[in-house]
Structure formats: structure tokens, C-alpha cells
């Protein structure tokens, strides 16, 4: 399945080379992206990362839109340099002019959200619940301290958890 994705990356590069009449170095392609993002372009590493789960669930649109979206980031960076905005006019030019696609910033794929445990911290303020992530809770257990912005007291773990 990733082979179709790799072929689409190559097709996008060939379209850009024809349009701009210049070669572009091919990126490394990784399929180790997880979570809510469909794709990510790492400009300085010339690396594209794609979410295989979202690709499997949305193959047609993913190949057409998402792959072109991420390739356009790398092409824009190589053409226009560091100081352009990620979804600015240069990137939009490539999406419209080269790929003839709408310059949509975000996908609208259905994403399964993870269930997350929150650790409830409190201070003396009334109705003060501070839900901490597992990572932040671990930092507290290792000695880090967090203060309430209102009363400036140290937040203390209540012993309660909440699943979100």
C-alpha cells in the first residue's frame, strides 16, 4: 500500500519540475506518523512523514490532496527559502498552479481520539481542578512543582483521576 503513496510523491515532484523547469531533490518518505496529523513535511531534513492509518481510511483523497499538500511545503521551501509562511501565498501558488488543488490547510478525516487519563491537582482556591496529563504528573513525581496563577500556591495531587 505505501508504494502507491511513494508513486504519488514522485508524480508530484515531476509536476513541480515541469512547472518550474528545474530539478528538486527527492525527500526521504516515512510512514511512522501517528495521531491526528495526516502528513508532515520536515523542511530542513527533506523528509515527508505520513500517517498510514489515515491513508488506509481515506486513500483516494489522501493520495490526491494530502500528498500534494506536503510535497508543496518542501517545494516551496526549496524555491523561496526559510522566511515564507507555512501556508502562505508561495505554498498556495504551488497548490493551485502546479497541482490544481484547493490550498486547504487541514484535512477533515475522521480521527479516533485516544482515551486519556487526567490526574487532578488542586490548590486552596475554590473550584480549582487542574487536570494534568500523565507526562506532567510524572514530572511532579520527579520533583517538579507547579503553582496556581491566582493564589501562587503549589498544586497538589488530589488522588483523583478522570478519563477523557
List binding-site positions. 69, 73
β 28-30/47-50 pair status? parallel
Within 10 angstroms of residue 164's Cβ, the number of other Cβ atoms is 9
Q: Three cell numbers at 70?
A: 506536503
CA distance 132 to 162: 10
Q: Cite the annotated binding site for Zn(2+) by residue number.
A: 69, 73
Region for residue 160 given its phi and psi (left: phi exceeds 0; alpha: psi -120 to 50; beta: otherwise): beta
11-15 long-range contacts, CB within 8 A, separation 24+: 12/67, 12/68, 12/71, 12/72, 12/99, 13/71, 13/75, 15/98, 15/99
Note if 89 is an active site residue: no
Q: What are phi and psi of 123, to 5 degrees?
A: -135, 180
Q: Write down the catalytic residue from 57, 60, 70, 89.
A: 70
- What is the 8-class DSSP label of residue 4? H
- Catalytic positions are 70
Amino acid at each position: 500500500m505505501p508504494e502507491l503513496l511513494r508513486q504519488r510523491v514522485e508524480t508530484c515532484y515531476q509536476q513541480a519540475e515541469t512547472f518550474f523547469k528545474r530539478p528538486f531533490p527527492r525527500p526521504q518518505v516515512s510512514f511512522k506518523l501517528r495521531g491526528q496529523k495526516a502528513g508532515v513535511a520536515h523542511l530542513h531534513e527533506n523528509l515527508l512523514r505520513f500517517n498510514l492509518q489515515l491513508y488506509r481510511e481515506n486513500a483516494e483523497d489522501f493520495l490526491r490532496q494530502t500528498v500534494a499538500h506536503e510535497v508543496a511545503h518542501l517545494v516551496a521551501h526549496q524555491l523561496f527559502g526559510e522566511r515564507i509562511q507555512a501556508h502562505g501565498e508561495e505554498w498556495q501558488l504551488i497548490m493551485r498552479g502546479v497541482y490544481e488543488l484547493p490550498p486547504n490547510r487541514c484535512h477533515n478525516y475522521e480521527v479516533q481520539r485516544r482515551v486519556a487519563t487526567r490526574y487532578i491537582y488542586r490548590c486552596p482556591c475554590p473550584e480549582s481542578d487542574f487536570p494534568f496529563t500523565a507526562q506532567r504528573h510524572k514530572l511532579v513525581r520527579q520533583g517538579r512543582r507547579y503553582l496556581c496563577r491566582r493564589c501562587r500556591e503549589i498544586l497538589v495531587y488530589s488522588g483523583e483521576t478522570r478519563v477523557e
